Amino acid sequence: MGESKINVSSSDEKPGIQALRHLRIEKAKPGQVERKDPEYVRNGTSSLIASINVSTGKINDYSLEGTREEKDYLNHVKEIVAIDPTGEHVIICDQLNIHKSASLVEWVAAQIGFTGNLGVKKKRKGILGSIKTRMEFLEDKQHRIRFLYTPKHCSWLNQIENWFGKLQKQVLKRGEFSSVDDLEIKIDKYISYYNLCMATPYNWKFQGEKYRRLFMN
């Protein structure tokens, strides 16, 4: 029998995406890009939570909400795991507090059949007692659902950040949005097109071992 498949997802949030509409736009002319008046109208904001499947390069789950709270990230993780409910999952994320919440620990514990004592958050006891102990539980390699946290100030190691950069350049930077609904519809359409026509596994070229030896010497 072959080794079981491990689902590896890279996840994060892009909060406060503004639905901007410029007051005046001059169409592009030969040899000249489109020009926009610096004045614009803000038509609200949305927050995107998304994850990319590392093996395919496709966005495997996302949600557009007005908030970026503990419950929002927990719901996002639930959707990731629902893609393969009984499978093994590794979720890469940064060290934002909502990525190490008590509710996330409780949900993961229920999914993996954890029978130990989680402790009490409010009393600062046990696994739930601190961010440190919650993080240690969530990244436990023995768990079927576990998290891999990027070092602080190293969010660029998270592949979803590269995709957010593409979204910014190809949709948001020069986009015009009459409302939050208009903004979210255009992001929806971009994700559908990206998954169908553009997604490829990320070709990671950073040579970590080379630089580790350089700095160790």
What tens-digit pLDDT sequence spans the chain (217 residues)?
445 689 999 999 999 999 988 777 677 778 777 677 677 788 999 999 999 999 999 999 999 987 889 999 999 999 999 999 999 999 999 999 999 999 999 999 999 999 999 998 888 889 999 999 999 999 999 999 999 999 988 877 889 999 999 999 999 988 889 999 999 999 999 999 999 999 998 776 666 666 556 555 5
Find residue 40's DSSP bridge partners.
Answer: 22
* Predicted TM-score (pTM) of this structure: 0.85
- Taking alpha carbons only, the member of 140, 139, 154, 144 closest to residue 12 is 154
Determine the Cα–Cα distance for residues 73 and 78; give it in Å rounded to an integer.
9
Q: What is the pLDDT of residue 1?
A: 41
- Is there a domain that residue 109 lies in? no
Split into its structural domains, the chain has a count of 1
What the block records as the tokens of 182 is 């208009």
* CA 45 from centroid of its chain's CA atoms: 18
User: What CATH number is given to the structural domain containing 84?
Assistant: 3.30.420.10
Q: 62: number of CA atoms within 13 Å, CB side?
A: 25
Domain housing 52: 6-94+150-216
